[in-house]
Amino acid sequence: MRGVTNAVEQVDAIVVGTRCAGSAAAIALARAGRRVIGLDSARFPSDTVSTHLLWPAGVAELGPLGAAAAVEHLGAPHLTLARAGGSGFCVTSRFSPVDAIDYALCVRRPGLDAALVDTARSAGAEIRERAKVGEIVWDSGRVAGVRYTDRAGATVELRAPLVIGADGRRSTVARLVGADQPYLSAPSGRDCYFAYWRDAGSTQRHIAAQWRAGADLGTAFPCDDGLVLSLVQPPAAPAEPGRAETRYLAALDRLPALATRLEGCTRVGRVRAATGIVSYFRRSSGPGWALPGDSGHFKDPVTAQGIRDALRYGRLLGEAVAPVLDDPAALDRTTLEWERARAGECLDMYQWTNRLARAEPMRPLEIELYRAAQHEAALALAATEIFSRTTTPKEILTPARVTALTARALLRGAPADVLVNLGQEIRDAAAEWLQARAAAQAIPLSPAPAPAPRPSAQACGPVPRS
């Protein structure tokens, strides 16, 4: 960018990207009396590639933001039952309440994001659409603002004690502060293709369903406007232009239960794709900056956790930093504490998601778990609680339960397969333990000293990595 054409504006906080995480942070900051400006390159309502399911914990996050009524008004049905099928078994369960919410919602992103942006504006945040950030402003080694191009093509400079980069997996802010390379990452074994279907007359609009067949996984999530979101995740394959339709339909053929669910439905629009998926943690705080949402942490969509985490940790970031924006040292401590808390709370789900993203057929112990949950209501309910983050996978797959599942699987035959599976579980547990140690060491206990002052207080671009 060259030739700043507008006067420099000074605000309390700048949020780059105002979808889920960015709007949540802006709402919290504005409600605390801070002047916050949100910048987004889109014009709302605007779509984005997303599978947009909110489990009860995700729906519950709308309440503290004041966005629940606006999102409910969009008309997505309450999904009161969860159903999982695989290897001849079908597990159905209701949801345990989270803050009195006992249902999931699948809300398309144009309506969801617009509702969040409107809520942020109502809270007092200023949201500037069609604003493309291109530079970071630095001052004495700290992020001090941004420069962006507005809808008229003018270059505008904003200054603030904190820049929040909520601008997604390809985050400009993460790149410019030198945090774009993850300290933990795991390529997915799955690609993701999804489409919408007209679901008129269906009797299953209260059910969030998932099926597995071989290495394939597919879902049917009823959403707003009488539609159902149908997603498939086949094993990853080299990307080729124009293959989304072919791969989507081929996966439906391999998932007969999903194909049956879609009988009588009419597809609306094209097949959309997300390929080359990589789950990760990035460093998400530094002097004058923070990265909520997918900019700092992303999980494969197989467990549908992204929106919940974006809303929750965007809000918690805004609430935490609002009182300390005028104290740089306290601000850096606060953003670091927020980063450590998010990493600690999300690691179990990250690791479990990575297991499901391997695109492998169901293993013997997993089949036994489905078999048991089909007949044990308490176990089925506990399994759904993993998705709402009120139970962890480790709390279900205790040593005692794994031992019982192993014994049952051995009694049913194929002992070699069972023992191989058990060995894989042991190796996975060891690898995840080592991963947790590495993750804990990647985030320091206290903020690093500020880098040496740059030659110019207004120099732009990334600082050298420490």
Whether residue 242 has pLDDT greater than 90: no
Mean pLDDT on 138-143: 96
Going by their DSSP bridges, the two strands 155-159 and 9-10 should be labelled as: parallel
Mean pLDDT on 78-92: 97
Q: Establish whether the linkage from the previous residue to 45 is cis, with ω within 30° of 0.
A: yes
Whether residue 392 has pLDDT greater than 50: yes
Mean pLDDT on 91-102: 97
Mean pLDDT on 168-188: 97
Examine domains 9-77+102-184+280-354 and 192-274 and report if their fold is the same. Answer: no
pLDDT recorded at residue 200: 76
C-alpha torsion angle, residues 361, 366, 370, 375 (rounded to 10): 160
Q: Give me the residue label for tokens 């998010």.
A: 342
Whether residue 360 has pLDDT greater than 70: yes
Side-chain-side CA neighbours of residue 322 (13 Å): 20
Mean pLDDT on 218-224: 98
Whether residue 454 has pLDDT greater than 60: no
- Residues 55, 65: Cα–Cα separation, whole Å: 17
C-alpha torsion angle, residues 458, 461, 465, 466 (rounded to 10): 0
The domain ranges of the chain are 9-77+102-184+280-354, 192-274, 360-441
Mean pLDDT on 179-201: 95
Whether residue 359 has pLDDT greater than 90: yes
Mean pLDDT on 390-399: 91
pLDDT tens by residue, 243-260: 999 999 999 999 999 999
Mean pLDDT on 134-149: 97
The CATH number assigned to the domain with range 9-77+102-184+280-354 reads: 3.50.50.60
Query: What percentage of the chain carries pLDDT values higher than 90?
Result: 89
Query: What percentage of the chain carries pLDDT values higher than 70?
Result: 95
Whether residue 204 has pLDDT greater than 80: yes
C-alpha closest to that of 34 among 44, 47, 25: 25
pLDDT recorded at residue 340: 97
Whether residue 342 has pLDDT greater than 50: yes
Whether residue 2 has pLDDT greater than 70: no
5 band by pLDDT with thresholds 50, 70 and 90: low
User: Greater confidence, 267 or 450?
Assistant: 267
pLDDT tens by residue, 42-76: 999 999 999 899 999 999 999 999 999 999 999 99
Fold of the CATH domain 192-274? D-Amino Acid Oxidase; Chain A, domain 2 (3.30.9)
Q: Which residues contact 164 (CB under 8 A, 6 or more apart)?
A: 13, 14, 15, 16, 22, 25, 173, 289, 290, 291, 292, 317, 318
Residue 126 carries which side chain, given as an amino acid letter? E
Mean pLDDT on 370-390: 94
pLDDT recorded at residue 413: 81
